[in-house]
A and B are shown apart, each in its own frame.
Chain A
């Protein structure tokens, strides 16, 4: 099947998560992507777990294999003159350069956008960093894990009576590639129409803060700070993860309307509850939410999570199993959508990257 980026050539000077995923997004859609690495300083992710059979090796890491499917790899030592010369040749060949070095590192090697645009005037280049290329923090060598802290995502995760939990991994590392693909695609289309290249400066701080834009406007307009709410939501009740049969089993349930609440009451075998003034309206349910959650938990506890999800969904109540890492591979919807395609790898063997 032809890909949208067929014929598009990408020089991928990336490491860790955010950069490789952006290049991979292009490879997934047909681009020829060359991941540039140094044999003397391999991508840190190559030395990060998990490894096939637990045996550490530069070509055995499953995470690297997942982040870089569909790419070619070129080993090139950018600390040598000849290496830099070859890098410049690669850029002349490329339509797009993707990089996520700390700001200023490539410029220091003579491979900044201004240098490269002289060699390849209609070049599209995207730099992805935690805080951006300019401004007082520009030199800061951060990661998505700490970028999500300044962007408010850590502050918002967890329970009101406790300190925040950290979102697993780094949300910005995996959201930024969508923004990056959007920006690069728009730049490619602009180049197709005008012949002009483009330089794109993406900051994880900025794209992640955008995700909570309504909360920022609320602070601006109403002078109200956002607080941790566990799994609750201002516009729905009940709204949370409820315990089910088995060890650490949970079902997310969200009643976003009175109709959905009434349907939940019917499924729970307590239709009279929906007329109870303590729970009849969203406003009342929010006031009595502790009691509401205790009742729903009493019903879900002891019930199998999947059966209960299907029962509720068939009655029109939004519900979803909190799937663990084994269950997502067994999820019939993700299987139908071929979310985890089977690939073969000379050292890892068959694997299913997301």
Chain B
């Protein structure tokens, strides 16, 4: 999807009848139909789609013919599956020596856990990241939506384009091997480093910010009048400015007492600060936040340049003026459904070659004629026969 956004011609190869991911919800109007998966819509936008049975010898031959014309192949089968069909990297590089072959798997294609299953929650658990998030009195949690694979796939896309750049300079192909577990380790920020440098294990702390830039956990998520906001007290020059600006705001509404007004924020040293010092401060800030809505907090934060933003739900994201002003939303036509849908648009803004928002995801086998006919030179009769034989 990301490569298609960057302008590549991407052909999604599905098994006859359609890829199993087409049955991942949510579905348009809750209708579990292979051409109505919103998951599929989101991550296959801009691609062409063909059907191909990789377990049939004729299917394998067709894939090789396609690979001979391709610059890159991206796959996420369990490690060893394509090799078992004679379609692994070693076999395909014989067909196309400069091929870039990229894999996205739970743990990478080699190593003791490479054959283990790793859906999102398993990969993020084993990356260490999950141990860092969630309330202390319950189980650790993941983000309540599987984002681990979109993250790993972005790394795989980066690896693929890097390899294409290298191929452009040297003519050499490349094997790219991305692990979802590895792609998520870095989300732990400095928590792994605390272990490495200080032999200290950082653990989850709910709505508090684990000892990221301070010696103590400090509140990050705060209730406000109609929801929650995200804000933490910083030290340094930035903290001195922001904290004072917040106190001034509170003061203008009669909510800063002598204690708060007397704090010299420039003297605040986050590397030695204690919970005893922090608690009365948090108490006053918390009372102030409860008097304002998310929207009021956002406006106040923008005016005063506070490092504070509201906790948006999806509706808030869609209504946000910043994304609208930047042209983030793209209407994508779905002629079969007789409507269009609003999609998240470019993942970056770039000039002079902007990222594009492609056509809606392919229907099952939608581009069989085009790809097998025009690209591989098969006749309409041959295509029909292959279809009847269950090869495509």
Contacts and interface: CB of A to CB of B under 8 A. Distances in A.
Given A137-B302, A163-B228, A165-B141, A212 B128 contact: no
B209 A62 contact: no
B103 interface: no
A144 to B, nearest CB: 9
Interface of B: 2, 6, 24-26, 28-30, 38-39, 41-43, 107-108, 110-114, 116-135, 138-147, 150-151, 154-155, 157-158, 161-166, 168-169, 179, 181-183, 185-198, 200-204, 206-213, 215, 220-221, 223, 228-232, 236-238, 271, 301-302, 305, 307-318, 320-323, 325-326, 328, 341-344, 346-353
Given A49-B215, A183-B348, A324-B128, A353 B26 contact: no
Contact of A201 (B43, B124, B349): B349
Given A216-B314, A221-B341, A333-B107, 5 more contacts: A192-B169, A250-B125, A318-B122, A329-B196, A337-B182
A1 interface: no
A224 B317 contact: no
A112 interface: no
- In order of increasing CB-CB distance, the 7 nearest A-B pairs are A169-B189, A168-B132, A336-B111, A149-B230, A62-B197, A320-B122, A213-B42
A233 B151 contact: no
In which size bucket is the chain A interface? Answer: 35 or more
A324 B201 contact: yes
Contacts of A209: 317, 323, 328, 344
B194 to A, nearest CB: 5
A341 to B, nearest CB: 11
A205 B230 CA distance: 14
Given A136-B322, A149-B309, A328-B192, A231 B43 contact: no
A128 to B, nearest CB: 9
A143 to B, nearest CB: 6
Contacts of A218: 26, 38, 314
Contacts of B348: 179, 183, 200-202, 206-207
Dominant SS among interface residues on chain B: mixed
B126 A21 contact: no
A354 interface: yes
B307 A146 contact: yes
Dominant SS among interface residues on chain A: mixed
Nearest to A349: B197
B121 A231 contact: yes
A225 to B, nearest CB: 6
Contacts of B117: 313, 316-319
B53 to A, nearest CB: 21
A187 interface: yes
Contacts of B122: 252, 254, 318-320
Interface in A107-138: 131-137
B207 to A, nearest CB: 6
A34 to B, nearest CB: 20
A222 interface: yes
Contacts of A59: none
B212 A169 contact: yes
A217 B341 contact: yes
Nearest to B29: A222
Contacts of B147: 153, 171, 211-212
Contacts of B183: 178
6 contacts: A47-B271, A54-B198, A146-B230, A149-B230, A163-B207, A332-B113
Contact of A162 (B119, B135, B347, B351): B135
Interface stretch (A80-88, A239-247, A265-273): A239-247
B2 A182 contact: yes
Given A178-B158, A326-B201, A221 B186 contact: no
A316 B301 CA distance: 50
Given A181-B162, A339-B185, A198 B353 contact: yes
A175 B182 CA distance: 12
Report which residue of A185, A200, A217 has the largest number of chain B beta carbons within 10 angstroms of its beta carbon: A217
